[in-house]
Amino acid sequence: MISVVTGGDRGIGKAISLMLVKEGYNVIFTYRRKEDEAIKTLNELRKYGEAECYKMDVSRWEEVREIFKKIGDVHGKIDVLVNNAGIAGENTEIDLIGIDEWRKIIDVNLTGVFYCCKASLPYLIKAKGCIINMSSIAGKMGGKLGVHYASSKAGVIGLTFALASEIAGKGVRVNAIAPGPVDTELISEEVKEKLKEFSPLKRIAKPEEIAHAVKFLIESEYVTGEVIDVNGGRYMD
């Protein structure tokens, strides 16, 4: 079985990649910047099974199309696509968010998901596979990461609903996950302690707990067009 994880070299993406390879998937992950970090992750994955990686900027259509064509030509199909790649902005107040920063966040977090879905769809249809898009609690309740980030993640939810409806008849399921704060190396210890105060469970998620939600959605063959909240009760609907 073939799985593709964008931004799979670290944090949540790495936890998802590890879960998939341990479940017997051939894991293909993409990364954008640090090749040495990607190679380190690749070697770790290969302790458990087959894995490969490609450098790819999800916000560049020609790159995305080329990489997915390469994957399709080699493997013939894609069983699972996890659109995990995403970024946060440098500024969080609208007065400080420049037009270029707005476009960059939307291009990566939302347009990048569209590009990857579009490029991978022929291979997902062959496998009657599934797509899992990474949204955020910010896509539902706003939050403090800025209007650009919240808008991009809300857009991912809308894309998930629309695409799930459109391609269900082709045998492809589309779902999303909306995590709250996650314990990764990108968050300082000081910020982690503050974030715990806002959670009814008084902690933040482990990356592996997001990976568990991905596993649930892969295995739930009658679930499509859903957004799974993994936020420790911080947002309930």
String of DSSP letters for 189-212: HHHHHHHHTTSTTSS-B-HHHHHH
129 burial (CB, 10 Å; 0-12 / 13-18 / 19+) is buried
Tell me the pLDDT band of 142, cut-offs 50, 70 and 90: very high
Nearest to 79 by CA among 217, 225, 226: 217
For residue 32, pLDDT beyond 70: yes
48 carries an active-site annotation:
no
pLDDT tens across 178-234, in order? 999 998 876 778 777 877 887 888 898 999 999 999 999 999 999 999 999 999 988
Q: Do the Cβ atoms of 125 and 114 come closer than 8 Å?
A: no
| pLDDT given at position 78 | 99
pLDDT tens across 103-130, in order? 999 999 999 999 999 999 999 999 999 9
2 burial (CB, 10 Å; 0-12 / 13-18 / 19+) is buried
Tokens at 215, concatenated? 């596993």
Amino acid at 43: N
Indicate the DSSP class of residue 231: S
For residue 24, pLDDT beyond 70: yes
Tokens at 77, concatenated? 């199909």
Tell me the pLDDT band of 74, cut-offs 50, 70 and 90: very high
Q: List strand residue ranges (DSSP E) for 114-180, in order.
A: 130-134, 173-179
Distance of alpha carbon 199 from alpha carbon 177, whole angstroms: 18
Domains present along the chain, CATH in parentheses: 2-230 (3.40.50.720)
Strand order of the sheet with strand 51-55?
A: 51-55, 26-31, 2-5, 80-83, 130-134, 173-179, 227-230
Run of H or E residues at 13: helix 11-22
User: Of residues 123, 149, 222, 235, which has the active-site annotation?
Assistant: 149
Cβ-count burial 131-141 (b if 16+ within 10 Å, e if not): bbbbbbbbbbe
Question: Is pTM, for the whole model, over 0.85?
Answer: yes
Tokens at 204, concatenated? 């933040």
